[in-house]
Structure 1
Amino acid sequence: MGDKVRYGSGNDAVLRWVLYNAWGQRCYWCERPTDFNAIQIDHLLPKDARKNNLDDLKRAYGLPNDFDIHDPANLAPICIPCNGRRGKGNRVYAAVPLILGRFETAREHRDTVIQQVRTFGASMGIAEHLLAAGQADLHDERVRTAFVEHAPAIIQRLALVDETKVDFLTIWYVDVTLEDEIQLSIGVSLNAHGRAAAQILENMCRIDLERVLEERADELVGQIREGVREALEAIDGPAGPPTAGPPVVDFIRIDIDSLGYQNVGAAVEFTFHGNFESSMAASLAQTSPDGSDLLELQGDAVVFGTFSFVVSWHFSADPADAYTGECVIEDWKPDLSTTLASWRSSS
Structure 2
Amino acid sequence: MSDEVRYSKSASKNKVLRLALLNAWDSTCYWCGEPRDFNEVAIDHVIPHTIKRSDLDLLLADLLRGDPALEDEYDLHAAANLAPICTPCNGEKSAVISTSGRFEMKFKKARAKATDVEKWVRSFGSSNRVAKAVMAVTTADLENPRSKQSLTDFAPVLAARLRVLDYTTTDEHDDPNADETEQVVVTLDNAGRRTRDLIEDLYGLDLNEALLAPIRATKSAITSALVSAIGAYFEDRGHVEPDIGCPIGRMRIEADGLRYDRLDEQFELTGSFDADIAAEVWVTSADGSEIDTPQGDANGRGHFTVRFWDDGHRRIESDDYVELKWTGNIEAY
TM-score (norm 2): 0.51
- Using a 3 Å threshold, how does the CA distance of structure 1 residues 157 and 105 change in structure 2: closer, same or farther? same
Q: 42, 51, 54: which is aligned to 2:53?
A: 51
Gaps of 5+ in 2: 65-69, 170-192, 205-258, 268-307, 318-333
Distance 1:150 1:200 in 2: 28
* Post-superposition offset of 1:98: 1.9
- Using a 3 Å threshold, how does the CA distance of structure 1 residues 15 and 197 change in structure 2: closer, same or farther? closer
> Residue deviations 1:63-105, cap 9 Å, x none?
4223101110111111111112xx21x2252211322222222
Distance 1:43 1:72 in 2: 9
Letter in 2 for 1:51: R
Residue 133 of structure 1 aligns with which residue? 137
* Post-superposition offset of 1:139: 2.5
Q: CA contact under 8 A between 2:28 and 2:34: conserved in structure 1?
A: yes
The alignment of Structure 1 onto Structure 2 pairs a total of residues equal to 197
- Using a 3 Å threshold, how does the CA distance of structure 1 residues 73 and 164 change in structure 2: closer, same or farther? closer
Q: CA contact under 8 A between 1:58 and 1:65: conserved in structure 2?
A: no
Gaps of 5+ in 1: 166-190, 202-208, 210-259, 270-308, 313-322, 329-347
Distance 2:155 2:53 in 1: 48
Matches within 5 A, 1:63-212: 63-84=70-91, 87-88=92-93, 90-91=94-95, 93-162=97-166, 192-193=194-195, 196=198
- Using a 3 Å threshold, how does the CA distance of structure 1 residues 55 and 128 change in structure 2: closer, same or farther? same
Distance 1:152 1:325 in 2: 32
* Post-superposition offset of 1:31: 0.4
Q: CA contact under 8 A between 1:197 and 1:261: conserved in structure 2?
A: no
SS of corresponding position for 1:41: strand
Q: Could you say what the CA RMSD is over the residues aligned between the two structures, in angstroms?
A: 3.5
* Post-superposition offset of 1:114: 1.0
Q: CA contact under 8 A between 1:310 and 1:325: conserved in structure 2?
A: no
* Post-superposition offset of 1:150: 1.4
Letter in 1 for 2:87: I
Q: 31, 34, 37: which is aligned to 1:32?
A: 34
Answer 1 or 2: which has greater helix percent: 2
Distance 2:262 2:194 in 1: 18
- Using a 3 Å threshold, how does the CA distance of structure 1 residues 60 and 163 change in structure 2: closer, same or farther? closer
Distance 2:48 2:18 in 1: 17
Q: CA contact under 8 A between 1:26 and 1:32: conserved in structure 2?
A: yes
Q: CA contact under 8 A between 1:43 and 1:74: conserved in structure 2?
A: yes
Letter in 2 for 1:24: D
Answer 1 or 2: which has greater strand percent: 1
* Post-superposition offset of 1:326: 7.9
Residue 15 of structure 2 aligns with which residue? 13
- Using a 3 Å threshold, how does the CA distance of structure 1 residues 162 and 264 change in structure 2: closer, same or farther? closer
Distance 2:113 2:58 in 1: 24
Distance 2:14 2:77 in 1: 11
- Using a 3 Å threshold, how does the CA distance of structure 1 residues 78 and 264 change in structure 2: closer, same or farther? same
* Post-superposition offset of 1:194: 5.5
Distance 1:4 1:327 in 2: 44
Percentage identity across aligned positions? Answer: 34
Distance 1:268 1:115 in 2: 37
* Post-superposition offset of 1:35: 1.0
* Post-superposition offset of 1:156: 2.4
Letter in 1 for 2:158: I
- Using a 3 Å threshold, how does the CA distance of structure 1 residues 197 and 115 change in structure 2: closer, same or farther? closer
Distance 2:21 2:101 in 1: 22
* Post-superposition offset of 1:198: 7.2
Matches within 5 A, 1:141-290: 141-162=145-166, 192-193=194-195, 196=198
Q: CA contact under 8 A between 1:60 and 1:94: conserved in structure 2?
A: no
TM-score (norm 1): 0.49
Q: CA contact under 8 A between 1:39 and 1:80: conserved in structure 2?
A: yes
Distance 1:143 1:120 in 2: 23
- Using a 3 Å threshold, how does the CA distance of structure 1 residues 264 and 59 change in structure 2: closer, same or farther? farther
Distance 2:201 2:113 in 1: 34
